Amino acid sequence: MPEIYGKSKIGKGTFLGSSVIVGHPGKGEKAFLVENRMNDVKGAVIGKDCIIRDGTIIYSQAKLGDNVQTGHNALIREDTAIGNGSMVGTLTIIEDNCRIGERVSIQSAVYIPTNTVIEDDVFVGPRVCFTNDKYMGRGDVNLLGVHVEKNARIGANSTILPGVRIGRDALVGAGAVVTKDVEPYTVVAGVPARKVGMVPEGHRRK
């Protein structure tokens, strides 16, 4: 049976796999975890008609819209919001305070760190790694999340450096290392990523 903690809310028609955890205490609720006061956590909110597959852990104060699906063993941390109709792939990790739009397709084994923003209708290929810490744990730094604008597509195994903005309907080639902003409708590839073309007019979404 799934474990549902605190004041979590599950929408009508939502399926929870047998090993799913909903409402796991986050950073601000550690005391509830240590003191075994799981009924006191604020809980997560999951909309209607979602499919949350086995092994997925959704932290307290996360919010999922309607018709969201996860693969197996996904992790969604506290204060993260995921819009209607989005998909979170198997083994994907979404850290705290992220904003994921509607109809976003996040494939398997993607890493999305704190303060990342992904707008509507974005495709994120398998094993994409977003980053947010320019100094890799040295000192008290401001975590600069990546911002991905609407309809952008990010190819498999790409790495996106902290604070980078991927423009509307841009395309990042597989395996690219993106070190600077990508303009809307631009195609980039390589290490480091460089402009290699433009998305054809006929392939651009309105």
Q: What is the pLDDT of residues 13-65, one digit of tens each?
A: 999 999 999 999 999 998 998 898 999 999 999 999 999 999 999 999 999 99
What is the residue whose two structure tokens read 């991927």?
A: 166
The domain locations on the chain are 1-109, 116-201
Stated pTM of the model: 0.96
Exposed/middle/buried for residue 149 (C-beta within 10 Å: 0-12, 13-18, 19+): buried
Report domain 1-109's class: mainly beta
DSSP 97-138: S-EE-TT-EE-TT-EE-TT-EE-TT-EE-TT-EE---TTTT-
Token representation of residue 190: 């390589």
Same fold, 1-109 and 116-201: yes
The reported pLDDT for the residue numbered 137 is 84
Please give the pLDDT value at position 138.
Answer: 84
How many angstroms separate the CA atoms of 40 and 32, rounded? 7
Q: Parallel, antiparallel, or unpaired for β 81-82 and 99-100?
A: parallel
Note the CATH number of domain 116-201. Answer: 2.160.10.10
The proportion of the chain whose per-residue pLDDT surpasses 90, expressed as a percent, equals 89
